[in-house]
Homo-oligomer: A and B are copies of this chain.
Amino acid sequence: MARNPKHDILFQPIKIGPKILKNRFYQVPHCIGAGSEKPGTQAANRGMKAEGGWGACCTEYCSISPESDDCHRVSARIWDEGDVINLRHLTDSLHKHGALGGIELWYGGAHAPCMESRAIPYGPTAQASEFEYLTYCHEADDDDIKYLQGLYVAAAKRAVQAGFDIIYVYGAHSYLPLQFLSHYYNRRTDRYGGSFENRARFWIETLAAVKAAVGHEAAIATRFAVDTLYGADGVQALDDGLKFVELVDREGVVDLWDLNIGDIAEWGEDAGPSRFYQAGHQRNWTDGAKRVAKVPVLGVSRETSPDDMAARILDGRLDILGFARPSIADPFIPLKIQEGRYEDIRECIGCNVCISRWEIGGPPMICTQNATANEEYRRGWHPEKFAKTSSSCSVLVVGAGPAGMECARVLGERGYDVHLREADTELGGRVRKVVKYPGLSEWARVITYRQIQLQKLKSVEVHTGVGKMTADQVLSYGADRVVIATGSYWANDGTNFVTHSPVEGLDASLPYICTPEQVLMQNKPVGDRVLVVDCDGYFTGVSIAEFLADRGKKVKILTPLKGVAPYTHFTLEAPNLHRMMHEKHIHELTSHWLLKVQPGRATAYNIFRDGYKRAPGPTTGELPRRPGTEVVEVEFDTIIAATGRVPNDSLWRELAARRAEWAKHDVQAIYQAGDCYAPGLIAQAVFEGHRIAREFESSNPQRPQPWIRERQVWGHETYPKISDRQVVG
């Protein structure tokens, strides 16, 4: 299929400052967990996007000074010669494919906890961060302001040395320039505080200084949240937002506007999870700026539809399309559009597990849709290229959930003769349940992408509605190798991580107790007063609670965790989920667990009910602290039990028990992928299915191959060099 001509606009070059962007696809700054400390990972991840056709790719936020140190989270840093070497490797990987490299110069003010550097950040006004409790900044005086602007300039010069084409002064997400601009932070009474012009001064002066220093060699960009979404208390799109764009443009100090909305404490208003925000949710805020802007404007919005992308430009709403998450899910979107291969686009589902790893701090970014994300360097995986097998090996994949579909797809790409067999009439496994939850319908893209790809693969046969395979059927199927991907189910007896045991009286065969499956897939009746029992801590408990509240039920969530759905803090869903719970009157009983369940009544206890003083020594058979006896009785009509997941591994266990018979049936090996091996995120199931297929020729694909680790090796160079260190005391 050829490209639709209305998408041609996406491939028109555009000038930004002294540089030409070859098309309108622009990967805005986003984190991947590599920073400037894992240069191979960094360069290979962004370089893959350059190969996939992106016109420009940026680093994640890049610190300009140890005073802006986000450890435990991973930012890039451009502090010294070592960083220049590492970031040069990144820009080389982009230039090789004709893409520009952008660097987002970052100074966080009070939001930078500086746990590695132990430095103290400056801010416009001395105050505590609303993002990082226990973290305060120091009020910058006039000298400090000059010093700070000097930090930006010095970093910009190093950025040019490192080969960057686009240099940002980063002011979105409530970092330093915005802190000066916003009344919320800036309480100064000097020429950097008070009037709008005074509050804008720091930002404009900084841009001017950076432009004067490197503007002839690089385009100068700024990232600006046109609306902090605080209403009258913050920066507002139709007032300060436009005014600031006009003011800056009048000075001619910016070559590119990178616009978004929101702040840092609740930046899910920008990187909106699909649960709350569909593609384009920022358009009404950001797409107004072009009316006043004199230089190109780019905006984000997790777009995955080429028509929507083109329309934003054709309508004159934007000049350039910014992407973060869609470029992670599919680094080849531009090339696929260019070649008219629309059906091959692997769309972002907006689950934000990518972001969750940054929020956790430290781990590499992962992606539910793209198992190769961040594996380009360390595992040598290419998202679109697969080593072809010369083997005639036939593979049976049992179960078409996320792991099975992905495993079959990658084996198929590699040329294996694959049969993917699904008991049910539809593909998708657990994803079919998940999409029934309020707001999670986009997660169906996990299925649709793979379904389409599987259809295209000549060496893959997909069989649905075949019922549960028995061990006999598997052994006699005629496959050389077998991958079991039969998923998991919610424990029907209350097995949980608190006791690692069932809960007395919690039996999902009873009419008043349901697992999420029974509600979603079997329409098991649910009474008026619902108690959701959640040990999972991610989306299931809170989602089934909302699902039932929407159907008029009175819902309470009981969890042994300290809060409801704590993992959604990392995916940026938490604030609106808490608002939703408040609005829908979903109550919570946290730090509690169940002693037993009787009809209509659950007996729970506070997990901190025991005495806080420990006995002076051991006594056999006794708890070393006063055992608590208080309980809380919770009345209910129905309990929904999301207490723990259990691998659906009976097929595997039977096959394992009959290992001696494999050879007789010419079955060489049987592996497990996804939840039936160990329950995990959907991203983990997709990864496992992918990995097994990539490593199918290793001696035991069940166990992963080593990957390249990036870290200091003793005896090799470090920066600053020891000889550079001013040891004075």
Contact = CB atoms under 8 A, between A and B. Distances in A.
A68 to B, nearest CB: 13
Contact of A364 (B116, B141, B608, B725): B116
Nearest to A627: B231
A576 interface: yes
A152 interface: no
19 contacts: A39-B714, A40-B712, A71-B363, A80-B706, A82-B711, A85-B715, A118-B687, A118-B691, A133-B536, A134-B567, A138-B677, A578-B591, A581-B608, A582-B609, A693-B729, A708-B722, A709-B718, A711-B711, A711-B712
Interface in A362-408: 362-364, 366, 379-381, 386-387
Copies of this chain held together in the complex: 2
In the A-B complex, the 5 residue pairs with the smallest Cβ-Cβ separation, listed nearest first, are: A284-B617, A694-B729, A115-B363, A579-B612, A72-B362
Contacts of A184: 500
Contacts of A716: 713, 716-717
Given A72-B362, A288-B618, 12 more contacts: A37-B711, A72-B72, A80-B706, A116-B363, A126-B649, A136-B680, A147-B703, A276-B614, A361-B362, A697-B728, A697-B729, A711-B712
A66 B704 contact: yes
A237 interface: yes
Contacts of A698: 726, 728
A472 interface: no
A51 interface: no
A562 interface: yes
Interface in A260-289: 269, 276-277, 281, 284-285, 288
Interface in A586-628: 591, 606, 608-614, 616-625, 627-628
B707 A713 contact: no
Nearest to A626: B583
A644 B128 contact: yes
A534 to B, nearest CB: 10
A725 B380 contact: yes
Contacts of A85: 713-715
A117 interface: yes
Nearest to A413: B729
Contacts of A452: none
A315 interface: no
Contacts of A557: none
- Which one of A130, A232, A716 has the highest number of Cβ atoms from chain B below 10 Å of its Cβ? A716
B134 A538 contact: yes
Contacts of A644: 127-128
Interface string A397-436: 0000000000000100010000000000000000000000
Contacts of A703: 147
Contact of A622 (B231, B500, B694): B231
- Which one of A40, A82, A698 has the highest number of Cβ atoms from chain B below 10 Å of its Cβ? A82
A691 B728 CA distance: 10
Contacts of A704: 66, 117-119
A695 interface: yes
Given A387-B727, A714-B85, A562 B561 contact: no
A469 interface: no
A552 interface: no
Contacts of A717: 713, 716
Contact of A720 (B414, B583, B709): B709
A38 interface: yes
Interface in A63-104: 66, 71-73, 79-80, 82, 85-86, 88-89
